[in-house]
Structures are given as structure tokens and as C-alpha cells.
Amino acid sequence: MSPQAKPFREFVNRYSRSFAGVLGMVMLVLIVLLAIFIPFFTQDPNTTNIVDRNLIFNSTDSRNIYHFLGTDDLGRDFW
């Protein structure tokens, strides 16, 4: 084995046996994946929709999107 690969292999072996090391790596990978993919599944919070303005608490709009806290005067979601 080359001397360059040995420190990395030792690092992987040491942290793969540790529960805290594995849990930390899983959490780090999960946060990175969420940061990458969440913008593709959410709508722009600053987009205005006058048709759906002033919706009350716990209602859906004309596009069947659920608004937990309702919308403001410009149709923007509060939450």
C-alpha cells in the first residue's frame, strides 16, 4: 500500500467503527442533499398572486396549494 493512501484508510476505518462518526457523516450528507434539492420543490416566496390574496388561516388557494397561516394582501404565503 502506498504511504499516501494509508492515512486516509486509517481515517475511514477509525470513524466507521464509531457510532458518533457515522451519525455525524450521515447528518452532514443529509444536510448537503437537502440544501441542494429543496429549492427545486419549493415556490418563490416573493411571487405575488392577487387572485389568492388575504386567504384565511389553514386554507388552499386556486392552484390547490396549502397555506398554513394564510396569505397577505399580495397573495404571498405567510409561512
- Span 1-24, pLDDT tens digits: 566 668 888 888 888 899 999 999
Residues 6 or more apart whose Cβ sits within 8 Å of residue 54: 70, 71, 72, 73
**Phi and psi torsions of 71, nearest 5°:** -130, 165
Query: What pLDDT sits at residue 3?
Result: 63
Half-sphere CA count of 58, side-chain side, radius 13 A: 0
What's the predicted TM-score (pTM) here?
A: 0.56
For residue 40, pLDDT beyond 90: no
For residue 74, pLDDT beyond 90: no
For residue 37, pLDDT beyond 60: yes
